[in-house]
Amino acid sequence: MAGDIFGAFSALIFVLGLLGLFAWAVRRFGFMPGQPKFGKAGKELEILESKMIDARSKLVVARWRGTDYLLAFTADGAKQIAEKEAPANPTVLEAKDGRI
């Protein structure tokens, strides 16, 4: 009786471990659609920073193909606030008129 319970418990732990290993491999190696296949080399879109303004509003700095975009997401939808050529070492995204 105790041996059967131990065997069933061991099999359960083994199967859960295999599922965890599979989930890790999918996330690590990018086997999901829309993700780069290996490493960062194929990444075109990056979310650099995200800040919540209130419960329904958020500011996001995203980089796409060498350009940084400041985007506002509100209840009304998304809006581009500013865009700037990505610097070699990005620190602050400035608006077109120099203000944020």
DSSP character at residue 62: E
pLDDT in tens, 17-65: 999 999 988 877 766 666 555 555 567 888 888 899 988 999 999 988 8
Angle CA(90)–CA(33)–CA(61) in degrees, nearest 5? Answer: 20
Here the tokens at position 39 are: 């490493």
In this prediction the pTM is 0.47
The dihedral over CA atoms of 83, 72, 32, 11, expressed in degrees to the nearest 10, equals: 140
**CA dist., res. 44 & res. 3, Å (int):** 54
